[in-house]
Amino acid sequence: MSDSFDLLVVGGGINGSAIARAAAVAGRSVLLVERGDLAGATSSASTKLIHGGLRYLEYYEFKLVREALRERAIMLRTAPHLVRPLEFRLPHRPSMRPWPIVRLGLWLYDLFSIGGGLPRSRGLRIDDDRFRTAHGRGFSYWDAWVDDARLVVLNARDAEAAGAEIRTRTALVSARREGELWQARLATPRGERQVTARMLVNAAGPWVDELLHGPLGFGGRSHVRLVRGSHIVVRRAFDGDHGWLLQQPDGRIVFAIPYLDDFTLIGTTDVAVAAPEESRISSEETDYLLDAVNLYLRAPLTLADIVGDYAGIRPLFDDGADKPSAITRDYRLELDADGPKLLSVFGGKITTARHLASVALDKLGIRGGDTRKRPLPGGDVADFADFLAGVRRRWPFLDPATATRMARAYGTGIAALLDDAASIDDLGRDFGAGLSAREVDYLVRHEWATCADDILWRRTKLGYRLSAEQAASLEAWLQERQA
């Protein structure tokens, strides 16, 4: 274990892990520290869209949309197991946005998507009788969907494969400049550790300012606007594989997306908050989201239909916008080169993290690290349907839902996990919903999982399927294993 690095990255969300990956691929020695679990904060609480952001066109954010759509194409190629195309339907409501305006927006979206491999938008009749539309007309367009927390883990795994050291449950306590180096103190599960680094990246997400003003000892005004976004999860509310983009009377839009086969994900909100810890959905937000879908659904949803919820804090760069929903979703990288370099990350999207990382490397003066064509771990899959069929042939004892879940989560990495297993008994204990001791063991050994929450809510989303007793027995098993 070395104690001196080229780069110390603080924060194991999507931005920190993407920067660590790119820097390691560029041949630099990298240490990434995350004080909780990878993707433990905002990066597991997104809407999980790999998208250009159709609504950002209204704010003339053409550069952001074009860049994000380019990234969408890269993600579909480099992680075809984890990222998948998703069609959206948009019921037209003349009172909200006139037909020509929506058509123009979609035309621009198509234009920016050329070469991206997804179908173009089109007008269509909406004949789903569960939905109420003004006159049965609407649009269809395409974006993509990702398991956000797994995307973070895959970035971290690729960083590790390229030589980076990844430490979870490890916090930066303080760092100061001494000559050419940062001297950093870390709190680890085994006690304090001192390391040096030539450069430091502050990718602490909603805590970016806290890190600057606390452990790094900087003064100055705050640049971050904290905006909570919440989601509710209900039992599947409509048929089909497509999602819905639902315009709201306040000008916002709300997504309703097929989620984990049996559920529908509904989000999101935009609520300004004062602290990163205010990451629980409020009853007003729950009501707002129910009202938003009920504006369109003939059989309204009620509180009793909600099976889960989550909220995350967007660490947006303060561009002075009045309304939280109008603050730019583009990122800003602030470089302080008054001594060993410090780069702070503000804002950004799951979608654009790879691009953000390449710009971060430029700012730090690191050459190389091009990840545009580099598959994420398990992503060397030519055609997902063929790949899944191969998985089912090779391990026929997996039930179809588990085979699909694991093929999506691990891609070609599934071979290392299942290896020579010839029957379900070879996978050891079943914790419920197809989660085997073999898989849990793999997640602990290779994906930094340490407790049931890491496994049930971030490495997998099986938290929706295990009972409280099953989750508790997984936790007990993990604690026993670690002891």
Ligand X SMILES: Cc1cc2nc3c(=O)[nH]c(=O)nc-3n(C[C@H](O)[C@H](O)[C@H](O)COP(=O)(O)OP(=O)(O)OC[C@H]3O[C@@H](n4cnc5c(N)ncnc54)[C@H](O)[C@@H]3O)c2cc1C
Indicate whether 369 belongs to the interface with ligand X (CB under 6 A).
no
Size of the residue set binding ligand X (CB under 6 A): 40
Residue with token string 């370099």: 341
Task: Establish if 41 lies at the interface with ligand X (CB under 6 A).
Answer: yes
Does 324 sit near ligand X (CB under 6 A)?
Answer: no
52 counts as binding ligand X under rule CB under 6 A: no
Cis peptide bond prior to 268, omega within 30° of 0: yes
Contact segment (CB under 6 A) with ligand X among 114-122, 307-315, 317-325, 463-471 equals 307-315
Residue 80 is a binding residue for ligand X (CB under 6 A) = no
At its nearest, how many Å lie between ligand X and the CB of residue 172?
4
Which of 48, 72, 341, 459 touches ligand X (CB under 6 A)? 48
Phi then psi dihedrals of residue 456, to 5 deg: -80, -30
Residues forming a β-bridge with 231 = 267, 310
Q: How far apart are CA 83 and CA 263, in angstroms?
A: 18
85 binds ligand X (CB under 6 A): no
Distance CA 318, CA 22 (A): 27
Listed ranges 46-54, 75-83, 433-441, 471-479: which one lies at the site for ligand X (CB under 6 A): 46-54
Q: Smaller CB distance to ligand X: residue 34 or 160?
A: 34
Is 128 among the residues that bind ligand X (CB under 6 A)? no
Give the residue with the Cβ less far from ligand X, 229 or 324.
229
Pick the binder of ligand X from 28, 70, 349, 458 (CB under 6 A). Answer: 349
Q: State the DSSP H helix or E strand holding residue 4, giving kind and residue range, or none if neither.
A: strand 4-10
DSSP line for 39-85: T-SGGGSS--EE---GGGGGGT-HHHHHHHHHHHHHHHHH-TTTEEE
Which of the residues 11 through 40 are near ligand X (CB under 6 A)?
11-16, 33-36, 40
Site string for ligand X, 240-279 (x = CB under 6 A): ----------------------------x-----------
CB of 299 to ligand X, least distance (A): 26
Select 253 or 313, whichever has its Cβ closest to ligand X: 313
Which tokens is 271 given? 């609520």
**Is the Cβ of residue 313 or residue 403 nearer to ligand X in the bound state?**
313
Assess 206 for contact with ligand X (CB under 6 A): yes
For 438, the token pair is 């073999």
Q: Please, what is the minimum distance in Å from the beta carbon of residue 409 to ligand X?
A: 19
205 near ligand X, rule: CB under 6 A: yes
**Which is closer to ligand X, CB of 315 or CB of 340?**
315
Binding region for ligand X (CB under 6 A) out of 57-65, 105-113, 204-212, 242-250:
204-212
Vertex 18: Cα angle to 448 and 309 (nearest 5): 65
Residue 166 sits in the site that holds ligand X (CB under 6 A): no
**CA dist., res. 35 & res. 42, Å (int):** 14
Cβ 313 to ligand X, closest distance in Å?
6
Beta strands in 106-211 (DSSP E): 122-125, 137-146, 165-167, 171-178, 181-188, 191-202
Q: Which of 30, 254, 350, 440 binds ligand X (CB under 6 A)?
A: 350
138 binds ligand X (CB under 6 A): no
Q: Whole-number minimum distance, CB 447 to ligand X, in Å?
A: 15
Complete DSSP assignment for 258-318: EETTTEEEEE---EE-SSTT--S--HHHHHHHHHHHHTTBSS---GGGEEEEEEEEEEEE-
Does 378 bind ligand X (CB under 6 A)? Our answer is no
Give burial (CB, 10 Å; 0-12/13-18/19+) of 23: buried
Strand, helix or coil at 130? coil
Alpha helical stretches, state H, 147-252: 148-161, 208-213
Segment near ligand X (CB under 6 A); pick from 1-9, 10-18, 241-249, 421-429: 10-18
Least CB distance from residue 298 to ligand X, whole Å?
A: 27
**With contact defined as beta carbons under 8 Å apart, do 403 and 391 qualify?**
yes
DSSP 388-453: HHHHHHHSTTS-HHHHHHHHHHHGGGHHHHHTT--SGGGG--B-STT-BHHHHHHHHHHS---SHH
* Residue 272 Cα distances to 203, 232, 293, angstroms: 21, 19, 22
- Closer to ligand X by CB, 326 or 416: give it: 326
* Spatial CB neighbours of 62, under 8 Å, sequence gap ≥ 6: 108, 112
Closest CA relative to residue 328, chosen from 78, 65, 113 = 65
Q: How far is the CB of 325 from ligand X (least distance, A)?
A: 11
Contact with ligand X (CB under 6 A) among 24, 26, 86, 172: 172
Closest approach, Cβ 399 to ligand X, in A, equals: 30
Q: How many angstroms separate the CA atoms of 299 and 285, rounded?
A: 20
Answer for the pair 277, 207: CB distance below 8 angstroms, yes or no.
no
Q: Which of 102, 149, 203, 376 binds ligand X (CB under 6 A)?
A: 203
The interface region with ligand X, picked from 79-87, 102-110, 202-210, 465-473 by CB under 6 A, is: 202-210
Where do contacts with ligand X occur on this chain (CB under 6 A)?
Answer: 10-16, 33-36, 40-43, 45-49, 171-172, 203-207, 211, 215, 229, 268, 312-315, 345, 348-351
